[in-house]
Amino acid sequence: MLLRQPIEVDVFDVTPFEPIGMQSLYLSLSLIGTIVLALPSSPYALPSWQNILIFSALILASVLVFFVNMYSTHRLLASTKKQQMAFVDDRFVQTYYQLQELDNSRQDIHSAATELNAWAVAKHELKQTPSWPYNTEMLRTLFVSVLVPILVGLARVIGSLLGAP
């Protein structure tokens, strides 16, 4: 609902949207925590292909929660970035043709060349801007939290294989 409001989005600064990424991370971590807590106490914790499939689906669902919860924010950032890219592309093309005209008429092209370079740099920088409201720390936390149940499950499988006669 907040994202439907008329707001001004700065594509170079996604920090105002990072709380949405944090909320997604907390929801995902809650699901993963529940899975980890359920592993040792569950009667289904014995290693079998059905249980591995179920827990894998639960872990995948928790990762999907992370991305699906912030998809609307991603769409907003991506559409704003697309609008900005279209503006920069138009200005780049206009300046390029201006540069050509100045060069053909043997006039000073320094200011047009400088402007063309500025638009090229702006285009490059716009391409580098993220359109997802998360940072590296959030992804690292999600990766480690997904890795924990997988390692616990692998330890159980290896333990049952080593303990089996």
Task: Write the pLDDT tens digit of every residue in 131-143.
Answer: 888 778 888 888 8
Which domain, by its residues, includes 144?
17-70+133-165
Mean pLDDT, the chain, integer: 82
Q: Which residue has the higher pLDDT, 159 or 22?
A: 22
Q: In this structure, which amino acid lies at residue 148? A: V
Cα dist from 26 to 19, 29, 30, 115, whole Å: 10, 5, 6, 45
Is residue 82 domain-shared with residue 66, that is, in the same domain?
Answer: no
Is residue 77 domain-shared with residue 127, that is, in the same domain?
Answer: yes
Has this prediction a pTM greater than 0.85?
Answer: no
7 in a domain, yes or no?
no
**Of 28, 21, 23, which is closest to residue 64 (Cα–Cα)?**
28
CA 52 – CA 44 distance, rounded (Å): 10
127 in a domain, yes or no?
yes
Q: 14 is written with which tokens? A: 């996604």
Is residue 62 domain-shared with residue 142, that is, in the same domain?
Answer: yes
Is residue 64 domain-shared with residue 83, that is, in the same domain?
Answer: no
21 in a domain, yes or no?
yes
Task: Write the pLDDT tens digit of every residue in 82-110.
Answer: 999 999 999 999 999 999 888 888 888 88
148 in a domain, yes or no?
yes
Is residue 99 domain-shared with residue 124, that is, in the same domain?
Answer: yes
Is residue 112 domain-shared with residue 32, that is, in the same domain?
Answer: no
Contacts of residue 61, Cβ cutoff 8 Å, sequence gap at least 6? 31
11 in a domain, yes or no?
no
Q: What is the CA radius of gyration of the chain?
A: 25
> For the chain, what is the domain count?
2
